[in-house]
Amino acid sequence: MRKISFVLVILFIIGCTSNKKEEKSNIKPESTTAIDTAMVDHTSEQIISNEEKIEVKDSVIVTNKVKESETDIKVSKGREIAKEAKAGDKKEKKEITKGNIERVRPHHTIWNSLTKKHVSSSGKVNYNGFKSNIKSIEIYLSHLEVTPPKKDWTKNEKLAYWFNLYNAATIHLIASNYPVKSIKDINNGKPWDKKFIKSGNKTYSLNQIENSIVRPNFNEPRLHVAFNCAAISCPKLMKGAFLPSKLNSQLNMLSKSWITDSSKNKISENSIEISKIFEWYKVDFKKGIIPFINNFSTTKITPNAEIKYLDYNWDLND
């Protein structure tokens, strides 16, 4: 009996062991299942995400029918979209800028303030003062550089621009070289031929602004009181900036001040001693020198009055 019982116990133990081995062989580790599931989920999300991106990209740009790997499509199309977006931004910016330039007009606030500060009512110019504010003059000149006259500007807008540009450039030229006794001490005696004034994409000299732009294109003899040559015998520099809305009254005021200044023009009924400007630019006074002077003189000159020209003093108007 003991032998039989022992054999049965052994058989029972062997049977249990066999069942456990079978069960163990049919079970995967829980950690392995979790890792696989995570990888599958992550991959599927990426595929969905990539598909959505590709669909959006395809709606934006036209692609060729050459089959590429998803990775290649993603990279190449992404670059194409980036290029397209950047190109679009530049185009839009360019159009906005162009539109603004067409409507913009220069403002003369800086020059108006500087001249009121450094020019006396008698026309004396404080070049030391201008020199201390030379950066402000340069900012103003840079502003005029990027706001050049356009075809749709009025005559007064164009003239105000060129008058202010010329005068600010002249003051900058002298202030940069100050102290000097005369403007003729600059650029080997030819300051008006120095090309340093920028307007748009061009660079001009003082001579070019006066004699190639304004004088030939505007029938305006009063321009000679607007352009300031920084000399004692020159019409005085205006205390303020030329403004399109006030230009006519400003030119009349300066003309009257110049003609009635006995240090620059000596007027009597039958004889006159006048500025050499009238001799140098006689062609600009199309209605005649005497009729022009009579518009502003308190003494009316007879048509046949004797005319003499005064020597020109090129000493600096400081």
Lowest model confidence (mean pLDDT) among 95-99, 107-111, 311-315: 95-99
CA nearest 197: which of 157, 161, 232, 233?
161
The more confident residue out of 273 and 28 is 273
pLDDT at 157: 98
pLDDT tens per residue across span 300-313: 999 999 999 999 99
Q: Does position 240 have pLDDT exceeding 50, yes or no?
A: yes
How big is the chain by its Cα radius of gyration, in Å? Answer: 43
pLDDT tens per residue across span 288-302: 999 999 999 999 999
pLDDT at 103: 61
Lowest model confidence (mean pLDDT) among 21-35, 141-155, 240-254: 21-35
Q: Does position 99 have pLDDT exceeding 90, yes or no?
A: no
Q: Residue 68's pLDDT band (boundaries 50, 70, 90)?
A: very low
pLDDT at 9: 47
For the chain, give the mean pLDDT: 78
pLDDT tens per residue across span 109-147: 999 999 999 999 999 999 999 999 999 999 999 999 999
pLDDT at 104: 84
pLDDT tens per residue across span 164-189: 999 999 999 999 999 999 999 999 99
pLDDT tens per residue across span 5-34: 554 545 555 554 444 444 444 444 433 333
Lowest model confidence (mean pLDDT) among 8-12, 212-216, 283-287: 8-12
Identity of residue 141: L
pLDDT at 192: 97
The more confident residue out of 56 and 171 is 171
DSSP-assigned beta bridge partners for residue 202: 199
pTM: 0.69
CA nearest 264: which of 214, 301, 317, 223?
317
Identity of residue 309: Y
pLDDT at 214: 98
Tell me what the mean pLDDT of segment 231-240 comes to. 97
- Rounded to whole angstroms, how far apart are CA atoms 222 and 252? 8
